[in-house]
Amino acid sequence: MSVERTYKEINERIKAGKAVVLTAEEVIGKVREQGISRTAKEVDVVTTGTFSPMCSSGVFLNFGHTKPRMRMSKVWLNNVSAYAGIAAVDAFLGATELPEQDPANSDYPGEFRYGGGHVIEDLVAGKAVNLKATSYGTDCYPRTELETTITLEKINEAILFNPRNAYQNYNCAVNLTERTIYTYMGALKPNLGNASYSTSGQLSPLLKDPYFKTIGIGTRIFLGGGIGYVAWNGTQHFPGFMKDKEGKDLTASGGTLAVIGDLKQMSSRWLVGTSYLGYGATLTVGIGLPIPILNEEILEYAAKSDEELYAPIVDYGDAYPNLKSMDLGYASYAQLKTGSIKVRGQEVPTSPVSSYVRAREIAATLKNWIQKGEFLLGEPSQLLPGPEQGLKGKSLT
């Protein structure tokens, strides 16, 4: 009889301090050693982690009211504009927003040393941040100008809300042109000079539950060092499978998460302002998901190793920017992690943009929280759409 568990049963075991939790790295060895059935009987939860630049991130802030009151139509934090086209003293600060008068790429490649992601890091680190606001003034909100200093502690709310995070899988970026290019995957040297990849492979949350059998609205997660939740599917959530030459499923790709959490609980170790030369500013976000081992099938996917997970190799010199299709093949995460892959018969050195070291630390931290009974699993109110729904991206004309 193969094992079946419910969220309730797992949470009871967590509360009793009896839950067996392994990281997504540890479970691979366990399954190799003793097989799926025995491991599924023993293990309640597998924890995952990723620590990667995630541009679609930001924070909703409520500053509290001034005397006299002000509606705040335009808001800047450390000279970085936040969107204030919502209610009085609310604003949304996005990770990729640049300071006013930033030279951007006018002196190519631009440095992008500071941006919205860096403001978020400063806030989380408890640093004082300059707040400037203007308004047209109304009878109920007469004040028209404000300049002051805030800290995370002093404001009412700071809610991290990231509309597209934790990409299930990601391109391995190369450059087939004859000049160095500057991308969100880092600098890419000409003529296949290097290859840049992301995701933590065998530790990556959405690669370990490719059919979205456990991840949904309300899944409780590690977010930025605190506790957060899956709020919805991410934007551009088009889960599917890349196919091998025989047309068989190779590796899941296309899924994304929208996540939410209280910034006040988080830490600047897990939310880091980030700059890509010639590209822009962003935020590196730490995310970890627990995968409840409800049955053997869920474990089978959660135990996939770097040897079994592949990333597509994509030319960022022409094919990617011009939305052209070009088949450069796939590389397994095991190959990518050796430091070298073969593309068109050429040896190409690889380097990551996401930190495997920190991803491992996230999975271990989440495991520790669950073992100590501090973190219970959140049963999703509704699972996210899986590959069977056939969601596909639209393009603009």
Partner 1 sequence: MAPEKIVLRFSAETVKQPIIYSLAKEYDLVANILKASINPHQEGTMVLELTGERYEEGIRFLKQQGITVHPLAQEVRRNEEKCTHCGNCTAHCPTRALSIERPSMEVKFNEDECILCLMCVKICPVHAMEVKI
Contact footprint for partner 1 (CB under 8 A)? 51, 53, 111, 113, 186-187, 189-191, 193-194, 196, 272-277, 284, 337-339, 349-358, 360
Tell me if residue 172 is catalytic.
Answer: no
Three-state SS sequence of the chain? CCCCCCHHHHHHHHHCCCCCEEECCHHHHHHHHHHHHHHHHHCCEEECCEEEECCECEEEEECCCCCCCECCCEEEECCEEEECCCCCCEEEEECCCCECCCCCCCCCCCCCCCCHHHHHHHHHCCCCEEEEEECCCCCCCCECEEEEEECCCCCCEEEEEEEEECCCCCCEEECCCCCCEEECCEEECCCCCCEEECCCHHHCHHHCCCCCCCCEECCEEEECCEEEEEEEECCCCCCEEEECCCCCEEEEECCCEEEEEEHHHCCCCCEEEEEECCCEEEEEEEEECEEECCCHHHHHHHCCCHHHCEEEEEECCCCCCCCCCCCCCEEEHHHHHHCEEEECCEEEEEEECCCHHHHHHHHHHHHHHHHCCCCCCCCCCEECCCHHHCCCCCCCC
Smallest distance from partner 1 to CB 266, Å? 16
Smallest distance from partner 1 to CB 309, Å? 15
Q: Which residue, 41 or 360, has its beta carbon nearer to partner 1?
A: 360
Smallest distance from partner 1 to CB 252, Å? 22
- CA-wise closest residue to 89 among 154, 28, 26: 154
Q: Which residue, 117 or 386, has its beta carbon nearer to partner 1?
A: 117
Smallest distance from partner 1 to CB 372, Å? 25
Smallest distance from partner 1 to CB 10, Å? 30
Q: Which residue, 34 or 338, has its beta carbon nearer to partner 1?
A: 338
Q: Which residue, 66 or 268, has its beta carbon nearer to partner 1?
A: 268
- 1, 16, 140, 396: the active-site residue: 140
Q: Which residue, 351 or 368, has its beta carbon nearer to partner 1?
A: 351
Residue with tokens 């991308």: 183
Q: Which residue, 135 or 196, has its beta carbon nearer to partner 1?
A: 196
Smallest distance from partner 1 to CB 267, Å? 13
Which positions are annotated as active-site residues? 140
